[in-house]
Structure 1
Amino acid sequence: MLRSALLYTALVIGANTAFAGAVDWPAAQAAGLAKLVPSEDAPPLPGTTFTDPEGNTHALSDYRGKVVLLNFWATWCAPCREEMPSLDALQAEMGGDDFQVVPVATGRNAPEKIDRFFAETGVTTLPVLLDPRQQLARDMGVLGLPVSVLIDREGREVARLLGDADWASEAAKAVIRQLTAE
């Protein structure tokens, strides 16, 4: 009980912008994001482009100045189905000028299947972005799904999580608050 109280207090203080500094990775891991691994000496992000269903081209550099939670997923991925509603909730609550969830469907994911997936899982705020040849996923070293990559305002990878997570959790929101306060 005392350990939980101390952990919660650490997350609250860490999430308070008046006390913000570096992200408290151990607190985030202990509070529910156990698979979140800080990135040390991560290579520069690739300039690889991806698209939307209308054929518009996007790049990670488009989001410079924002903290980004880049999520690689697919319509056939069962853990993605569990995770996507929490990404949607995080975007609905915290998305804006400082933060953006960027979900990229990698591999063969027809836009109609993505629309059906979003409808079935209740996703309403996330954009549809596509990496049909998996070039961005390969360039980012993604070997399985889902994978989430936290990117700071300068466009540097700061952490990575392999597998699904509850991105609407207080632990996840505390990490985002800490990153956007820097």
Structure 2
Amino acid sequence: MLRSALLYTALVFGANTAFAAGPDWQAARDGGLDKLVVAEDPAPVAAAEFTDRDGGTHTLADWQGKVVLLNFWATWCAPCREEMPALDRLQAELGGDDFEVVTIATGRNAVERIDDFYAEVGVENLPVLLDPRQQVAREMGVVGLPVTVLIDREGREVARYLGDAEWDSDAAKTLVTQLTAP
């Protein structure tokens, strides 16, 4: 009985230690996020301003304290059309006080066209944010679309994914859960 209790206690503490060690990047890659590139030295994200649908200005610092999955996209981008519903489902399921999906339409994307795009692909939970002069995208080194950047609570880029992904997959949700763990 004592032996079982010791073994159980060791397993519990071992599992918690492994979980506290941080995200399992390789498991995320193996689970379908194969193009995930982890930052060796996480750096602060862009400070450039972007706007919301009403013309209000924002910076990524507005989300500091949360883990953010930042996605750069455009209405003309075919892979973005495929990816946006998964981002929307991820926000619906895990978005809240600790985590948020932030999507920024970069380049020329009229609000009306974004609304049409969202209606066509069934997006209901994502913000309409615009980077019309691509200031944020340039500052973050975005050269193609879509690009998704994972940002930690301190406002630093911890990983980047080039291309579209199934952001509502089990691997992605596990990664978000690991990133938001205390």
Amino acid at match of 1:36: L
Cα separation, 1, equivalents of 2:56 and 2:17: 36
- Size of the aligned set, in residue pairs, is 169
Does the 8 A contact of 1:21 with 1:178 survive in 2?
no
The equivalent residue for 1:143 is: 143
Q: What value does the CA root-mean-square deviation take over the aligned residues? A: 1.8
Does the 8 A contact of 1:17 with 1:181 survive in 2?
no
Whether 2:158 is the aligned partner of 1:158: answer yes
The equivalent residue for 2:63 is: 63
TM-score (norm 1): 0.89
The equivalent residue for 2:91 is: 91
Structure 1 residue 47, shift from structure 2 partner: 1.0
Does the 8 A contact of 1:47 with 1:61 survive in 2?
yes
Change in 2 beyond 3 A, CA 1:119/1:44: same
Secondary structure in 1 matching 2:117: helix
Question: Alpha-carbon deviations, 1:63-108, whole Å to 9, x = none?
Answer: 0100000000000000000000000000000000000000000000
Whether 2:149 is the aligned partner of 1:110: answer no
The equivalent residue for 2:44 is: 44
Cα separation, 1, equivalents of 2:79 and 2:162: 11
Cα separation, 2, equivalents of 1:146 and 1:102: 13
Secondary structure in 2 matching 1:43: strand
Runs of 5+ consecutive residues of structure 1 not aligned to the other structure: 1-13
Structure 1 residue 21, shift from structure 2 partner: 2.8
Cα separation, 2, equivalents of 1:17 and 1:119: 44
Cα separation, 1, equivalents of 2:113 and 2:36: 29
Structure 1 residue 53, shift from structure 2 partner: 1.5
The equivalent residue for 1:121 is: 121
Larger radius of gyration: 2
